[in-house]
Structure 1
């Protein structure tokens, strides 16, 4: 690795090992017990559940993330797949994936009507907390496939009865992508995986046109992130369905995926030179322009080329605009040492736990560059346009030339530059990671101290996928 001194390479490998080890802290955490006294809840996780963090919190000050989020759990399982494949996790961890599939399938029977039939969910709740319990009307709406728009459940497999931003539609699509990428995993329950895949693809196909709450669970609308992962899940799922002999559903998935790709195109905002993250459900609501969710959507969708992949000049322009935003917004980015890229957060207006930098955001920028380097090292064509000239220039350290995109030697030069730029983001993560390698959700925009949830599974997953992309790019470059 080229940035932040000769120790970055060794640190990254050590941090990868720590991340692979800590990734499963919240997976099948059956030894833990979560008490929520104001709500009369006692939660004991079941095998296959994935809590976002195993560190207990009750907004005291750490947040209460002791839930099985569909989004987080899919991303953790995908990272576990990567770590099993490279030997960082034992092959026996395929059992955790089997348990995850079974836990997910067992959620099918959950309904709000059953919760209400068991008694008033507000009975016995501390009066000061009753306002945080879902209404009867809200719970009655949880029926049929609506369980998959529930965002999260309790890790004991029961319905979450607390108010939250619902529905969210990215979880089933992400889970489908994770399953599709892991079908060749030794020891996988392929029958269970197929059953869950059918469920996730059917839900995505049925609800992809509907607005839902976006990745950060703040606003209702048509979210770039959600549409990107839905587009990819339906596209990849169509091939799998066809191989299963279901050509009719495969065709409908392809049509829906094409419609989603068109919808994603509509997020481009020429005035901002970036994809808008959220197009609101109503005309009087504000859109959200610059948001790292766009970059995470590109990465988690994993399209290999074309629009809405890392090769998309407009996605590249969006990342450049985000770099510029946070370089000026965060004090920790001022006077940073040579070889470090800016620490990135979510979006300008973010105030959650101080609106600091996020590990997954800064790692996402690193992974974006690593994947781009790998694509070019593999011989993929690169388009130099008016939209992405600034993005390319900051990696090269000079204005790009036409031959940088037109010749094999030029593409090799670009690949080397993008790899180095990814290293610069990795060096920034290193600067704000403690010696023990623990990764929280955020680090403070002014002091760099870790904040919000401790040992966040998604942060470890982000490190694993970023470094895996770097390793792949390095192998491709050495082979050229």
Structure 2
């Protein structure tokens, strides 16, 4: 209830809610609170609202006293609670003639969490630093048509089982395979001619779209693949990857020290000479410092395990205080510890909010950083990171919505009309942010049901989903999200590997919908735990592996014959579109291939791919 108190006590000018009148409109009852614009100086006043067919419609008078405005309506859900989800942000709709007022409006489905009372309106006039508030306290009654009924659970269109030879062949560690092509094309975008050493171009696409920049996030995730090659390589190949990773550390330190950054370490992208991009953009993006630190700490740990010098790691990787121009990790970690509570733009660079993906990678960085700082003899920094990790971990349950049975990709008001709160970023948050400590891991029941909901919601949306088999009759996975290769970054492979490693599989009422879709023939029941060797356990694990390969087969099916991966596939035609040879696409496919090799037990797969083209 703390949020309700905050909502009621917003600071600034306020006006009490006045009388209302009700007008009937196509079976909806529209409440008219104020039929004409208020007097100058009021700032904000409710004009109309209705709750019809499960959708909240609201219009508001906003005094045009400055340019940059944030207009927010707070309400209570069906549990009579006000939470960060019980918030609607309004947008400009039009001017009110002969006045200084504008109409701002919103139309948002709210029936899943429900609505009982309008609490207040706030209008932040950002340019003048003033907030206007109208206290409402209005009970809301549903009118018009009933809210939409829950969508029935889809039936699986296929029941694949086990790993398939066609995917093994497609991903084999050879020059002609897709894995070989992905490796070559990914490295073609690292240290390109004319760019600073240690940089990664997002794609060699210079117009429509212009992706000729070094994104902090993309670079760190790409360099994480380089790290995987380094950890597995032998001989000359290992030295090749080691040099790139040290160059990357230097590149990150250069970014940190650029005096022209607008948001400091949360700056999202840089030119290829590693100077800051200062044009308009979605900033800050506070996941970049976390993923950069993770990659470099992984590298440092393996470097030391290979009998590398701790002094080298301290001066070239960790100690930003003594070596600010070349050692970036401490600075990035302390930034995460100090800034994780602040909202940030998401990995699609569209929305500023509190994001599950960002919290997950920040948590992993803080936990790894605690151990790493202690190893470096820096107990003071370790204590700061540990404290922040504990506080951050306590916030993660907030993202679980019991009404939706879903982990929300962001915890806050509906943004950009995404009222479903479903986003593949949740899956990516686990893949990039899981700290291997049992907290929101690959087999977590909330993660599984969220992955199921996210995947299946695209079945009626994407036309290409109607094609469910390739020319040989093999099953194609569901086309998911804006970047199909991203979601198949190994979640199902990793889940099957984790079940196999632990030797048991527990099913809850929360995770049951996931298994009902992806492993129906296993006959699993909620409240039961199945042991390795049982028919149910083996059938479920085989089903996860079959679907994992089916998702990879979807990528194979949509990939052009030359093996080049673009930014995305067209949802209607399946044709590759967007930036050509997107670096993250290749890095994601390789990460999925690494996860699959773990499932197959091929311990030499990554080594063979790492050494490919480089003499030992």
Query: TM-score scaled by structure 1?
Result: 0.81
**Structure 2 partner of 1:90:** 237
Q: Distance in 2 between the 1:5 and 1:309 partners?
A: 26
**Structure 2 partner of 1:353:** none
Residue 471 (str. 1) matches residue 594 (str. 2): no
Residue 358 (str. 1) matches residue 453 (str. 2): no
Structure 1 residues 208-287: aligned runs within 5 Å: 208-280=340-412
Q: Distance in 2 between the 1:158 and 1:252 partners?
A: 30
8 Å contact kept, 2:475–2:550 = yes
Q: Distance in 2 between the 1:474 and 1:5 partners?
A: 11
Structure 1 residues 292-441: aligned runs within 5 Å: 292-337=424-469, 339-346=475-482, 357-361=483-487, 363-364=488-489, 367-379=490-502, 381-398=504-521, 399-401=523-525, 405-410=529-534, 411-441=537-567
**C-alpha offsets along residues 198-218 of structure 1, whole Å, 9 cap, x if unaligned?**
111111011011111111111
8 Å contact kept, 2:162–2:542 = no
Distance change (3 Å), C-alpha of 1:226 and 1:288:
farther
Instruction: Tell which deviates more after alignment, 330-339 or 378-387.
Output: 378-387
**Structure 2 partner of 1:442:** 568
Aligned pairs, how many?
416
Q: Distance in 2 between the 1:208 and 1:309 partners?
A: 20
Q: Distance in 2 between the 1:358 and 1:283 partners?
A: 23
8 Å contact kept, 1:3–1:340 = no
Instruction: Tell which deviates more after alignment, 418-427 or 379-388.
Output: 379-388
Name the structure, 1 or 2, with higher relative contact order (CA <8 Å, separation 6+): 1
Query: Alignment partner of 1:182: what SS?
Result: helix
After TM superposition, give the deviation of residue 284 of structure 1 in Å.
12
Instruction: Tell which deviates more after alignment, 337-346 or 93-102.
Output: 337-346
Query: Alignment partner of 1:326: what SS?
Result: coil
Residue 158 (str. 1) matches residue 290 (str. 2): no
Say which of 562, 565, 586 aligns to 1:460: 586
Distance change (3 Å), C-alpha of 1:373 and 1:285:
closer
Distance change (3 Å), C-alpha of 1:335 and 1:3:
farther
After TM superposition, give the deviation of residue 4 of structure 1 in Å.
9.6
Q: Distance in 2 between the 1:439 and 1:110 partners?
A: 33
8 Å contact kept, 2:500–2:532 = no
**C-alpha offsets along residues 361-412 of structure 1, whole Å, 9 cap, x if unaligned?**
3x23xx1000111111212543311111121222323331469733122444
**Structure 1 partner of 2:167:** 8
8 Å contact kept, 2:519–2:540 = yes
After TM superposition, give the deviation of residue 324 of structure 1 in Å.
1.3
Structure 1 residues 164-179: aligned runs within 5 Å: 164-179=281-296
Distance change (3 Å), C-alpha of 1:305 and 1:313:
farther
Q: Distance in 2 between the 1:199 and 1:216 partners?
A: 25
Higher Rg of the two aligned structures: 2
Say which of 25, 28, 33 aligns to 2:191: 28
After TM superposition, give the deviation of residue 158 of structure 1 in Å.
1.1
Query: Alignment partner of 2:251: what SS?
Result: helix
Q: Distance in 1 between the 2:271 and 2:246 partners?
A: 19
Q: Between Structure 1 and Structure 2, which shows a larger proportion of helix residues?
A: 1
After TM superposition, give the deviation of residue 455 of structure 1 in Å.
0.6
8 Å contact kept, 1:74–1:171 = yes
Distance change (3 Å), C-alpha of 1:242 and 1:433:
same
Q: Distance in 2 between the 1:453 and 1:427 partners?
A: 22
8 Å contact kept, 1:151–1:168 = yes
Q: Distance in 1 between the 2:570 and 2:414 partners?
A: 34
**C-alpha offsets along residues 198-245 of structure 1, whole Å, 9 cap, x if unaligned?**
111111011011111111111111011111100111011111112222
**C-alpha offsets along residues 104-134 of structure 1, whole Å, 9 cap, x if unaligned?**
112233123xxxxxxxxxxxxxxxxxxxxxx
Q: Distance in 2 between the 1:390 and 1:256 partners?
A: 34
Distance change (3 Å), C-alpha of 1:306 and 1:6:
closer
Instruction: Tell which deviates more after alignment, 1-10 or 381-390.
Output: 1-10
Residue 149 (str. 1) matches residue 271 (str. 2): no
Structure 1 residues 162-201: aligned runs within 5 Å: 162-183=279-300, 184-185=302-303, 190=313, 191-194=315-318, 195-201=327-333
Say which of 73, 81, 91 aligns to 2:227: 81
Query: Alignment partner of 2:273: what SS?
Result: coil
Q: Between Structure 1 and Structure 2, which shows a larger proportion of strand residues?
A: 2
**C-alpha offsets along residues 242-277 of structure 1, whole Å, 9 cap, x if unaligned?**
222223332332222222222221011122221111
**Structure 2 partner of 1:40:** none
8 Å contact kept, 2:205–2:580 = no
Unmatched runs of 5 consecutive residues or more in structure 2? 1-159, 319-326, 604-616
After TM superposition, give the deviation of residue 155 of structure 1 in Å.
1.5
